[in-house]
C-alpha cells in the first residue's frame, strides 16, 4: 500500500513542479543598504499612491521604529494609517480588521513593516481587498488569489522570513487550532527594503531564530526535487553568509555590515524557496505553530537537524556541496563525511545560540494528530528528497518532547 501511495505522491509532485517551473514569478524591486528606507516614500509616490495602510505590530510601534517612516510619508504628502494589531502567527480576525481599516481610510497601497507576521498579514489583507467575494479560508492553498492587487511595499525588520520576496503567506485559524498557507504570484510585494539600520537593535534570540529560519529555507530548497541552477545559486549564497555571520551577530548585534549581509542572505533564501519550495521542517513547524503558537523560526531551528538526519542518505551530495560552500570541508572528502559534518554544524550553531533541542509546549497525546496534519501539508506539494510515513513523522516528533519539570 505504501509503495502505491509513494508512487502517486511522487508523480503528482513531479507534475506540480513541472507546472510551477513554467510560471513567471515576479521579483520585487530592491532598495538595499543602511538608510535605504529613506528612498521608499518617493518610490511609493512614483506609483501614484497617495494613501497607505502601514501594517505592523505593537512590539515594533511601541519602540518607535515606524515613526521616521510615518513622518517621511506625511512629509511626501502620502497619508499613512497605522494598523499595529497584528499578532504573532496572524489570524483571520487580524486580516479582516486590516481590510476594514484599509477601506475606511480609502487607502491605495499597503506597507508591510516588521517580521514575518506583519508581512503575511499585509499580503492577505491585500488579497482580500482585491478578491472581496472570497473569504480567507476560500483562498487557502495555491493559485486562488486573482489580481491585480494594490501596490504592496515590504519592509522587513528581521533577517529570516524572506517574505518580502515570496509568493506565500501563513495564516492561523484559532478556532481550528491550525495554520494554513495561501500562495499566489499576486502576493509578491512590488518593492522590498533591506535596511540593516532597522535590524541593529534585534535581541539575540530573535537574531538566532530568524537566521536559522533563513538557513532552513535555503537548505530545504537546495535538497528538494524542484531545485534549479537559479535556486541553488541563491541558496548557496544564503548558506555561505549565514554560516559565516550568524553566530557572530548573535553575540554582537551592533555590526552593521553583518546585519546587512544577513538581510541579503534571507532575501537570497526567499528567492530560492519561493521557486523550489520547502519540506518536512516547515510542514511540522507550521502545525506546531498552529496548535501551540510556537515561533516559526525557533521551531525550524529545532527541527532542521532531525529532518536532515532522516533524509541525509537521499541528499548527501547536496548537503556535501553546502558543507563546502560553507567552508566546512574540501572537494576531496566523501559526500557522507561532508553531509554529516554539515548537520553537525547546524547542531553546533543551535547550541552556541542557546536554541533548545525540543519544543516545550509539545504534548505526547498530540503527536499522532500533528504527524497526520504535517504529512497532509507536505504531500504532494513539498518536493522532499525522501518520503516520510506516519510512524516516521511520529518518531521525529517524539524526539522533540521535553521530559521533566
- Provide the pLDDT confidence category of residue 282 given band limits of 50, 70 and 90: very high
How many residues would you count in the chain?
405
Question: What percentage of the chain carries pLDDT values higher than 70?
Answer: 96
Confidence of residue 24 (pLDDT cuts 50, 70, 90): confident
Confidence of residue 213 (pLDDT cuts 50, 70, 90): very high
Q: Hey, what's the torsion of the CAs at 226, 143, 286, 155, to 10 degrees?
A: 90
Residue 283, helix vs strand vs coil: helix
Output the CA torsion sign for 256, 259, 261, 267: negative
In this predicted model, which residue has the larger pLDDT, 180 or 214?
A: 214
Cβ pair 315, 213 in contact under 8 A: no
**Structure confidence at residue 115 (pLDDT):** 94
Distances (CA, A) of 196 to 13, 32, 72, 202, 272: 38, 9, 18, 10, 21
Band of pLDDT at residue 319, cut at 50, 70 and 90? very high
| All structural domains of the chain | 29-198 (3.40.50.1970), 202-398 (1.20.1090.10)
Dihedral sign from CA coordinates of 204, 206, 207, 208:
positive
**Best CA proximity match to 163, nearest among 198, 206, 118, 200:** 118
In the chain the first and final C-alpha atoms are separated, in Å, by: 42
Q: Which three cell numbers stand for residue 318?
A: 547536496
pLDDT category at 354 given cuts 50, 70, 90 is very high
C-alpha grid cell for residue 282?
Answer: 516547515
Using alpha carbons, select from 72, 133, 63 the residue that is nearest to residue 99. 133
DSSP 27-47: --EEEESTTGGGGHHHHHHHT
Q: Average pLDDT of 300-322?
A: 98
Instruction: For residues 163-183, give the mean pLDDT.
Output: 89
Cα separation, 248 vs 236, in Å, equals 19
Model confidence band, residue 403 (pLDDT cutoffs 50, 70, 90): low
pLDDT per residue as tens digits for the range 61-97: 999 999 999 999 999 999 999 999 999 889 999 999 9
β-strand partners of 182? 141, 169
In this structure, the strands spanning 168-173 and 178-183 are antiparallel
Q: Please give the pLDDT value at position 143.
A: 84
C-alpha torsion angle, residues 88, 91, 93, 98 (rounded to 10): 60
pLDDT in tens, 115-169: 999 999 999 999 999 999 999 999 998 889 998 999 999 999 999 999 999 999 9
Angle among Cα 34, 296, 217 to the nearest 5 degrees reads 65
**Band of residue 8 on the pLDDT scale cut at 50, 70, 90:** low
pLDDT band at 14 (very low <50, low <70, confident <90, very high): confident
Q: Where is pLDDT greater, at 172 or 345?
A: 345
The confidence score (pLDDT) of residue 2 equals 62
CA angle 303, 306, 311 (to 5 degrees): 120
pLDDT band at 173 (very low <50, low <70, confident <90, very high): confident
Q: How far is residue 37's CA from residue 41's CA, in Å, rounded to a whole number?
A: 8
Q: Dihedral of CA 70/30/42/184: which sign?
A: negative
- Structural contact between residues 184 and 144, judged by C-beta atoms closer than 8 angstroms: yes
DSSP character at residue 97: H
Residue 402 — pLDDT band, cuts 50, 70, 90? confident
Q: Is 75:41 a contact under the CB 8 Å cutoff? A: yes
Percent of the chain with pLDDT over 90: 87
When pLDDT is cut at 50, 70 and 90, the band that residue 4 belongs to is: low
Amino acid at each position: 500500500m505504501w509503495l502505491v501511495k509513494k508512487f502517486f505522491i511522487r508523480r503528482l509532485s513531479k507534475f506540480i513542479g513541472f507546472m510551477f517551473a513554467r510560471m513567471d514569478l515576479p521579483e520585487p524591486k530592491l532598495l538595499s543598504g543602511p538608510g535605504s528606507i529613506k528612498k521608499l516614500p518617493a518610490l511609493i509616490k512614483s506609483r501614484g499612491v497617495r494613501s497607505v495602510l502601514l501594517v505592523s505590530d505593537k512590539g515594533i510601534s511601541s519602540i518607535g521604529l515606524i515613526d521616521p517612516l510615518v513622518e517621511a510619508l506625511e512629509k511626501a504628502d502620502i497619508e499613512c494609517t497605522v494598523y499595529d494589531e497584528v499578532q504573532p502567527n496572524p489570524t483571520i480576525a487580524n486580516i479582516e480588521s486590516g481590510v476594514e481599516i484599509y477601506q475606511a481610510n480609502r487607502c491605495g497601497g499597503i506597507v508591510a513593516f516588521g517580521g514575518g507576521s506583519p508581512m503575511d498579514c499585509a499580503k492577505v489583507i491585500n488579497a482580500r481587498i482585491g478578491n472581496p467575494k472570497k473569504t480567507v479560508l476560500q483562498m487557502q492553498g495555491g493559485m486562488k488569489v486573482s489580481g491585480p492587487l494594490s501596490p504592496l511595499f515590504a519592509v522587513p525588520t528581521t533577517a529570516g522570513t524572506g517574505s518580502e520576496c515570496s509568493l506565500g503567506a501563513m495564516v492561523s485559524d484559532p478556532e481550528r487550532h491550525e495554520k494554513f498557507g495561501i500562495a499566489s504570484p499576486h502576493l509578491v510585494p512590488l518593492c522590498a527594503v533591506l535596511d540593516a539600520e532597522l535590524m541593529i537593535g534585534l535581541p539575540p534570540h530573535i537574531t538566532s531564530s530568524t537566521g536559522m529560519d533563513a538557513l532552513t529555507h535555503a537548505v530545504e530548497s537546495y535538497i528538494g526535487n524542484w531545485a534549479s541552477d537559479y535556486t541553488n545559486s541563491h541558496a548557496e549564497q544564503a548558506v555561505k553568509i549565514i554560516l559565516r555571520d550568524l553566530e557572530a551577530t548573535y553575540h554582537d548585534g551592533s555590526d552593521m555590515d553583518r546585519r546587512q549581509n544577513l538581510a541579503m542572505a534571507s532575501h537570497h533564501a526567499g528567492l530560492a524557496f519561493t521557486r523550489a519550495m520547502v519540506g518536512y521542517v516547515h510542514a511540522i513547524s507550521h502545525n506546531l505553530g498552529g496548535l501551540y503558537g510556537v515561533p516559526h523560526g525557533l521551531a525550524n531551528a529545532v527541527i532542521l537537524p532531525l529532518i536532515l538526519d532522516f533524509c541525509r542518505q537521499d541528499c548527501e551530495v547536496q548537503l556535501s556541496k553546502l558543507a563546502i560552500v560553507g567552508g566546512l570541508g574540501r572537494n576531496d572528502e566523501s559526500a557522507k563525511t561532508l553531509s554529516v559534518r554539515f548537520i553537525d554544524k547546524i547542531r553546533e550553531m543551535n547550541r552556541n545560540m542557546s536554541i533548545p533541542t525540543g519544543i516545550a509546549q509539545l504534548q505526547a497525546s498530540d503527536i499522532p494528530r500533528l504527524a497526520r496534519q504535517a504529512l497532509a501539508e507536505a504531500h504532494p506539494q513539498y518536493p522532499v528528497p525522501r518520503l516520510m510515513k506516519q510512524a516516521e513523522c511520529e518518531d521525529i516528533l517524539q524526539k522533540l518532547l521535553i521530559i521533566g519539570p
